[in-house]
Amino acid sequence: MDVSPPRHLKARKQPRQARSTSTIDAIFEATIQVLIAEGTHRLTTTRVAERAGVSVGTMYQYFPHKQSLLYALNERYLDRLAERVEMTCCTQHGRPTGEMVEALITAYWEAKTERSDVTRALYSSAVELDNEALIDAFAKRMDAATKAMLLSAPNARYNDISLVNVTLLSVIFGTVRNVFERNLPPSEQNAIRDELRRMCLAYLAMAGGEVFPPTQAA
């Protein structure tokens, strides 16, 4: 069942002109800066407006309160993350499963680590939100993109591709989030990333994907 965004968290209006889009971009970037510098609890629409260089009235035209601003920021972040993973999956159609898994992990991991401070700030900000609709929409897009990719692999014979797919994504997404929440050092992050790849390949081989050479699955 589809989940609609909570009405009280919707933006008042959407940008329709280039100038309005630039204003929203400035507001979102200022929100990220305040989140990183001061944390979710000290973030206010007034602080964001000052940092973005816009009036409180302009801010209020789009976001009536802090929660609607954070909701829109997380919505944009998840939309861009989904687009990045979808594009990666499309480019991997028809390739061996091992290459698919490597590309999927790389795309998701790099998207999260390019600005790790932003990732941590958004994880923290989402705690205050009724974000079920955002997660539902993101999950549906990821499920569709990765399922189609896995099924296109040579010799792929999954008995329950939906279960296999959601398990694979849960392992990848959960591992990456755990790495961030524990603030692990880079060397340990790299080691975990290698182990994640091995684990995913072994699971897919067991679940009915193509048989991997020992050097790939090891």
Highest mean pLDDT among 12-16, 45-49, 177-181: 45-49
What pLDDT digit, counting tens, does each position of 60-85 carry?
A: 989 989 999 999 999 999 999 999 99
Q: Taking the CB of residue 50, how many other CB atoms lie within 10 A of it? A: 15
Contact, 165 vs 150, CB < 8 A?
yes
Of 186, 45, 192, whose CA–CA distance to 116 is shortest? 186
**Integer Cα distance of 78 and 164 in angstroms:** 23
Tokens of 67: 């929660």
Q: Can you give the pLDDT at residue 208? A: 75
pLDDT tens-digit readout, 170-210: 999 999 988 888 888 889 999 999 999 999 999 998 887 56
Cβ atoms 49, 34 nearer than 8 A: no
pLDDT one-digit tens code per residue, 143-168: 999 999 999 998 888 989 999 999 99
Length of the chain: 218
Residues 142, 169 contacting (CB under 8 angstroms): yes
DSSP state of 7: G
Q: Is the dihedral of CA 47, 51, 54, 55 positive or negative?
A: positive
Helix/strand number for the chain, H first, E second: 10, 0
pLDDT single digits (tens) 84-125: 999 999 999 999 999 999 999 999 999 988 888 888 888 888
The verdict on pTM exceeding 0.75 is yes
Q: Higher pLDDT residue, 168 or 12?
A: 168
Of all residues in the chain, the percent with pLDDT exceeding 90 is 62
Measured in degrees and rounded to the nearest 5, phi and psi for residue 183 equal 50, 50
**Given this model, what pLDDT does residue 124 score?**
84
What local confidence, expressed as pLDDT, does residue 25 receive? 92
Say how far apart CA 8 and CA 112 lie, in whole Å: 28
Which SS3 state, helix, strand or coil, does residue 208 take?
coil
* 122 exposure class (CB count in 10 Å sphere: 0-12, 13-18, 19+): buried
